[in-house]
Amino acid sequence: MDGGVSGIRYPWDAAPEHGEAIEVAEGVLWMRLPLPMTLDHVNIYALDDGDGWTIVDTGFDSKTSREIWEKILAGPLKGKPITRVIVTHHHPDHVGLAGWFQADHGAALWTTRTAWLFARMLQLDEQAVPTQESLDFYRRAGMDEEVFQQRASERPFNFSDVVAPMPVGFKRVKQDDVVRIGGRDWDVHIGNGHAPEHATFWSRDDNLVLSGDQILPSISSNIGVYATEPEADPVGDWMESCARLSQYAREDHLVLGGHKLPFTGMPLRMKQLIENHHGALDRLMEHLDRPQTAGECFLPIFKRQIGGPAYGLALVEALAHLNHLYHVGKVRRTLRDDGAWLWQRVE
């Protein structure tokens, strides 16, 4: 969902070109890699540790990404080795090349336990056809029949398509850790909702925050329910995390996120991130005066109908909002004859 940017400031009005870098603070470089989707980029950061670099997130594992990384290594990173990779969360645009840096560059991997377990499990779980559990999940969500038939007949997306093999071994990052990166001490605060056990890093020595996808400007991170945990309440997790992280937010914080541009004005943005979902939940409640499937709830949540490549993400986010209302006792659900959940407001 879109979020307003009133009161939010962007110190840079354009991102670095592929293979180039912008120094956003002393010894901290911002770079960008392409993604083959509507959200067509991911931000990555390199922090100078003296004898080597720590990088934060990696991009997809693809020929293009590796070629850009080789340019970065020879150019902005000046041939100095990458000794550590920090992965904020398990999504493939952030963890995709972590295993490559471990295996080919000898880097250490630091991330949360849940992020590592999810990433490695999904990288190993290659499927030629959709599982029955996935197909049942789509039915429960009321997926459009044409989309369902297409998904049922084709090879599903696999992490291994864009995530390099991950060797055994990582260093766990957890809540309240203090880690030394780029000549600074950083407090670790864990968020949830967009991804379980998502790590964010808050510098004690200046105004920098490495936020991954937990705090983004102008867009709200996708919050979805998936077949792996169909009863989950990521919307509740997200709002709890935003409220908790808000207590650390300062106006002067320079937020270095996984997408879009670095920005200041975090207190306002944290408020927006919470209000976006409260507004969606209120509109959804009004929509549920009669039974609806998750696939019939796009308009109240997103204020528009959604199709094409974004349909799948919209469906899992609609289900996340319905699950939240169900968990707090505001809606009930019944199973339709075709296997779809019908959701309705509790009077």
| Pairing of the two strands 108-111 and 171-172 | parallel
Give backbone dihedrals phi and psi of 253, rounded to 5 degrees, phi first: -60, 130
- Is 251 a domain residue? yes
Tell whether the model's pLDDT for residue 347 goes beyond 90: no
pTM over 0.85: yes
pLDDT tens for 84-120 read 999 999 999 999 999 999 999 999 999 999 999 999 9
- Is 329 a domain residue? no
- Is 72 a domain residue? yes
pLDDT tens for 152-189 read 999 999 999 999 999 999 999 999 999 999 999 999 99
- Is 338 a domain residue? no
- CATH code for the domain of 27: 3.60.15.10
- Is 202 a domain residue? yes
- Is 89 a domain residue? yes
Query: What's the domain count of the chain?
Result: 1
pLDDT tens for 184-217 read 999 999 999 999 999 999 999 999 999 999 999 9
Could you tell me the residue range of the domain that residue 143 belongs to?
22-287
Q: Please report, as a single letter, which amino acid is at residue 202.
A: W
- Contact 29/76 with Cβ under 8 angstroms? yes
- Is 308 a domain residue? no
3-state helix, strand, coil in the chain (%, to 5): 35, 20, 45
Indicate the helix (H) or strand (E) that contains 277: helix 266-287
- Is 1 a domain residue? no
